Every structure is written in structure tokens, then in C-alpha cells.
Amino acid sequence: MGHGLSRRYTVALPRSRVALLRSFLQQVANTFDQECIYLVVGFEVELVDADPAAGYLGDE
């Protein structure tokens, strides 16, 4: 399987908002048909798995 284009974004936000970002990234993964999204918080790395229950970007 080939690899597509990758993008890197830097986001600064209070640590108290990281859970909200993680939920948003689940929607991003669903919307763009990704298995997971690579997330770095400080020096901690995690993969945010897609979760259909999280919905998709633009869902009301």
C-alpha cells in the first residue's frame, strides 16, 4: 500500500483542551478515511484512532 501526502500542524492550546483536540482528531480521521492521527503533546506521542462513533467533520 502506498503512502499519501502527509501534513504537519502545530497547535498551541492549554493542556485542559487536549481532550477536545483528541475528539476533533477522531472526526478528522473519520472524515479523511485514516486509521489514526499522530498526535504529540509535549514530549508524549500517541496515535488517535479513528472512531465512527465520534462522527465526521461537518456533522451537526
Q: Which tens digits make up the pLDDT trace of 22-58?
A: 999 999 999 999 999 999 998 888 999 999 999 998 8
Per DSSP, which regions of 8-57 are E strands?
A: 36-41, 44-49
pLDDT exceeds cutoff 70 at 2? no
d(CA 26, CA 37): 8
Q: In whole angstroms, give the CA distance from residue 60 to residue 48.
A: 22
- Residue 42 cell numbers, joined: 509535549
Contact call for residues 56 and 30 (beta carbons, < 8 A):
yes
Q: Kind of pairing, strands 36-41 and 44-49? A: antiparallel
- pLDDT at residue 58, rounded to an integer: 87
